[in-house]
Amino acid sequence: MDEVRIQQAAAARPEAPEDGDEATPAPGTTVADKDAARGPVTGGQAAQIPGHGAVRPSWVEWLTTTDHKKIGTLYLVTAFAFFVLGGVMALVMRAELARPGLQIMSNEQFNQAFTMHGSIMLLMFAMPLFTGFANWIMPLQIGAPDVAFPRLNMLAYWLFLFGSLIAAGGFLTPQGAADFGWFLYAPLSDAVHSPGIGSDMWIMGVALSGFGSILGSVNFITTIICMRAPGMTMFRMPIFTWNVLLTALLVLLVFPVLAAALFALEMDRKFGSHIFDSANGGALLWQHLFWFFGHPEVYILALPFFGIVSEVIPVFARKPMFGYMGLIGATISIAGLSLTVWAHHMYVTGGVLLPFFSFMTFLIAVPTGVKFFNWIGTMWKGSLSFETPMLWTVGFLITFLFGGLTGVILASPPLDFHLSDSYFVVAHFHYTIFGTVVYAMFAGFHFWWPKFTGKMLDERLGKITFWTLTVGFHLTFLVQHWLGVEGMPRRYADYLAADGFTTLNTLSSIGSFVLGLSLLPFFYNVWKTAKYGKRVGVDDPWGYGRSLEWATSCPPPRHNFTSLPRIRTESPAFDLHHPEISGVTGVTGFGGAAGVAGAARDAGRAEVEEAAR
C-alpha cells in the first residue's frame, strides 16, 4: 500500500529539470513569475544564469549582440555614416563643376570621387539601410521573437562592414581609390588601365560585402517563411514584410552573379585569364553580367522603401490599404520583370535586341503604376493628416513619379541614343533612387522612431528638414535634365565656358549645398529627442497603426512581445486597439490581456502629440 502511495505522489509531483534546464512553465506564466519562482540567485549561480551577475560593458554588448533590433540599429547607423561620406564627395564634385576650369581636384581625383560616390551611396548606404529597416521591423511585423539565425545575422553585418571599409580604404593607398566608375566597365577596370591596389580593394571589398547581403537574405527568407505567429498567413503579412521577402529573393538571384563576375575580373587583373579581354568580346560580356545584377539592384533598393511608404499611408489616411492583393501582385510582377530588362543599359552597344528590351522596360512601368493607383486609392476620401512621416511620403510620391516618367523616356531606343551617358541620365537616376530611398528613409525614421527609441522626433524640425531637402534636391537635379538635353556628358571633371553649361551647373551646385545643409536640422532633431524627448507611454503613438509592431511596447522588450493579439486580418494591431471600428472581436491573445484601454490610449496619444509640438 505504501509503495502505491509513493508512486502516486511521484506522478503528481512536477518533474525536476535536468541541470541547465528550466521546468516548463504553466500557461500564462510571465517572466517575472519565473524569476520569483527561481528564488534568490547566489554568487555561484550568477555566472551561469543569463541576465544575472556582472553586466558586460555596453560596447561589448553592442559588438557581440545577436538581437535583431540592435543589429538593425548598427546597420542604420553605419548606413547613415556612409550616406554622409558619399554626400561629402558629391559636394566636392559639385563645387568643382560650379565654374569652368579645374579648381579643387585633378581629373584622376574626380574619377575616384564619382566612382566611390556611386559605390558608397548604392552598396554601402542604400543596401544596409534596407537591411537595417528589415532587421528592426520585419520580425516585429510577423510576431517573431528574433530572426531565424541570429548569429548568421551578426556575421552578415560584420561582413558588410569590413567589406565596405576595405572598398573605401582605397583612398589610403598610394595611387588612391578605384577610378573606373561603379560599373567597372572593361577594359577600364583591367590591370593596365587601373593598376592601383585601390581597385583590387574595391573589387574584393564589394565581393565580401555582397556575401553579407546573401547571408542576410537567407536569414530574412527563412524568418518570414518559418517564424510567423499563429494566424499570420502569407496574405495577412504587412506589405513591408512582403517587399522584404521579394527583395531577399532578388538578392539571392543576382548577387552571386556579381560575386562571380568580380572574382573573374580579379583573375584577369592578377593572373591574366583574359575573361573580359575586349578582343574576345569580353567588354560586352562584362556589361551583360554586371547589368544582370545592376538593374535588379535598382529594384532591390526600391522595393523595401515602397514597403515603408505602404505602411505609412494607411496610418495617416485612417484607411486600410486599397487593393491589398493587387499591391502584392504588382510587387511580385516588378520583382519578376526586373530580371528581364538589364540590357536597356546597353542600347548604344548595338549588341542587344532593341524591340524586346524596350518592350520589357515599358512593361515594368505598368505594375509600378498599379502601386501608385493603390497608394492614391488609399488616400482618396481618407481622413488625411500630414504629420512628418506623411509629408515625406508625399514628397516620395512626387519625386519618384517624375523619375519614373523620365525612365519611360529612356526606355525608347531613339531617345536613349541621344541622352545616353549625359546628365539627363544622372538626373533620372537621382530622381528615381534618391527620391525613393532618401524620402522613404526619412518617412520610416519619423514613423518608427518611437518604436526604435521610445521617443517621438520633433515635428517642427522634421518639417524644416523636409522642405530644405526638397528645395535643395530639386534645384540640384531638375536643371541636370536640361544639361543632358544640351549635351553635357556625365563624369566630366571640366567643361569650357563656351559650351554654355555654366549657369545650369552653378544652379545645380548651389542646390547641392542646400541639400547638404538640410541634414543639420535632422541631426539636431535626433540629439534633442534623445536628450529632452518625453517617453512614449503607449504601444501605438500614432493611434492608427495596423501591423503587429504597434501591438508591443515602445521600444519592444528583448524578445519583442509579452503577448500577441489574435491575428484574423492583415491589420491585427488596429483590430486590437479599435475593435469598435474593425468589427473584429475577441482579439485578446496569447499570454494574457493585450493592448491598452481606449481611454488610456487616447490620453497617451494626446500627451505624445503635445510633447512633439
Q: Average of pLDDT values for 221-243?
A: 96
CB 287 within 8 A of CB 189: no
Residues of the domain holding 74: 64-532
Predicted confidence band of residue 16 (pLDDT cuts 50, 70, 90): very low
Q: Which residues pair with 422 in a beta bridge?
A: 489
Helix (H) or strand (E) holding 23: none
The yes-or-no verdict on residue 606 having pLDDT over 70 is: no
Q: How far apart, in whole angstroms, are the C-alpha atoms of residue 590 and residue 447?
A: 27
Count of structural domains, the chain: 1
Q: Is 534 left (phi over 0), alpha (psi -120 to 50) or beta?
A: beta
List pLDDT tens digits, range 346-401: 999 998 999 999 999 999 999 999 999 999 999 999 889 999 999 999 999 999 99
Grid coordinates representing 610 are 503635445
CB 565 within 8 A of CB 573: yes
Note whether residue 568 is domain-resident: no
List pLDDT tens digits, range 417-466: 999 999 999 999 999 999 999 999 999 999 999 999 999 999 999 999 99
Predicted confidence band of residue 134 (pLDDT cuts 50, 70, 90): very high
Note whether residue 375 is domain-resident: yes
Within 10 A of 229 (CB to CB), how many other CB atoms are there? 20
Q: Average of pLDDT values for 25-49?
A: 44
Predicted confidence band of residue 19 (pLDDT cuts 50, 70, 90): very low
How far separated are the first and last CA of the chain, in Å rounded?
Answer: 77
The CATH code of the domain that includes 371 is 1.20.210.10
Closest CA to 344 of 334, 335, 354, 336: 354
Note whether residue 262 is domain-resident: yes
The yes-or-no verdict on residue 496 having pLDDT over 60 is: yes
Predicted confidence band of residue 557 (pLDDT cuts 50, 70, 90): very high
Note whether residue 292 is domain-resident: yes
Phi and psi, residue 416, nearest 5°: -65, -35
Q: How far apart, in whole angstroms, are the C-alpha atoms of residue 257 and residue 136?
A: 28
Phi and psi, residue 590, nearest 5°: -75, 135
Note whether residue 249 is domain-resident: yes
pTM of the shown model: 0.87
Q: How far apart, in whole angstroms, are the C-alpha atoms of residue 585 and residue 574?
A: 12
The yes-or-no verdict on residue 603 having pLDDT over 70 is: no
Where do runs of H (alpha helix) occur along 411-501?
A: 413-419, 423-453, 459-486
Helix (H) or strand (E) holding 84: helix 68-97
Q: What is the CA radius of gyration of the chain?
A: 27
CB 238 within 8 A of CB 546: yes
User: How confident is the model at residue 580, as a pLDDT?
Assistant: 79
List pLDDT tens digits, range 86-98: 999 999 999 999 9
Note whether residue 481 is domain-resident: yes
Residue keyed to cell 537621382? 430
Q: How far apart, in whole angstroms, are the C-alpha atoms of residue 167 and residue 115?
A: 11
Q: How far apart, in whole angstroms, are the C-alpha atoms of residue 270 and residue 201?
A: 13
